[in-house]
Structure 1
Amino acid sequence: MKKILSLCVLLSSISAVNVHAEEVDCVTTSWKLIGSNHKVCVQAYDDPKVKGVSCYMSQAKKGGLKGTFGLAEDPAQFSLDCRQTGKIIIKSKLPLQEVAFSEDTSLFFKETRVVRIFDEKRNTLVYLAISRKIIDGAPANSISTVPIMSWTK
């Protein structure tokens, strides 16, 4: 019973940081006879705690019948790029490390997570995208930095 409770707490903490991504567009990488095609999709995320920073992530999405019905486990293949898109306004004190965004990449137990790291010494926000599996993890990762600078139009 303790293990089930621990798993429920872990699952609820993972889904608590889901931020709505705006899908920019997708490009087909492999045509499938039945079901949707394999593709790479680009999504935009606006940092919920740092106004003026947007991140773009490209991520591989599996097609076929499983992909069509949302049952496929997407591969841990992605790229991340974050940019200053306006005057940077930090809404509250930032911890040195915090999950900024996460997205499930399978029906159960796998997600892509973007962690914001504040490099106080260099006055820079570091965004690290990782693929997580609850059981064994995954080494896939991508990094992007945004120096906190003044914004002039």
Structure 2
Amino acid sequence: MNQIATGMFIARKRRELNLTQAQLAKRLGISSKSVSKWERGKCMPDYAVVNELCDALGISVSELLDGEENERKNLRMYDNDQMIEMLARIQRLENQRVTIIAIALIVMGLGLLALSPLFGGSDLTDFISGVLFGIGIGTTLIGVFLAARSVFAYLGHLD
């Protein structure tokens, strides 16, 4: 699955149908920025809109994932529903990976915060204590941000 090839394929099929990004986005109930990101290969369409996107462009899910039209009817091992379920699983696994990273950052940040008071007494150790404190705060905040984003992404897919 090549995001850039898929994006170029989406753009080509959209233009063949004389649709703007905004018109395609409106049909799918999403923002035109999402369509733009797909077409530039920045991200893949969410599994929740893949069927609608394929219907709107007159292509199959396998063609979308391949980034090209099937010139002949290839024998596929999976049907569209199975392919969409695989995409959903991939997105869930990616979300879980981000959650694990977020938890690790929070734990690491809290550990650094706990270590920072152990240093002190001279200018150098006060500096080290301050650096550990700053890194601990930053790491914890990044972890909290990633965890919140992961939770909101999960909640968005419950519909």
Shorter chain as denominator, the TM-score bin is under 0.3
Larger Rg: 2
Q: Which has the higher helix share?
A: 2
| TM-score, structure 2 normalization | 0.21
Q: Which has the higher strand share?
A: 1
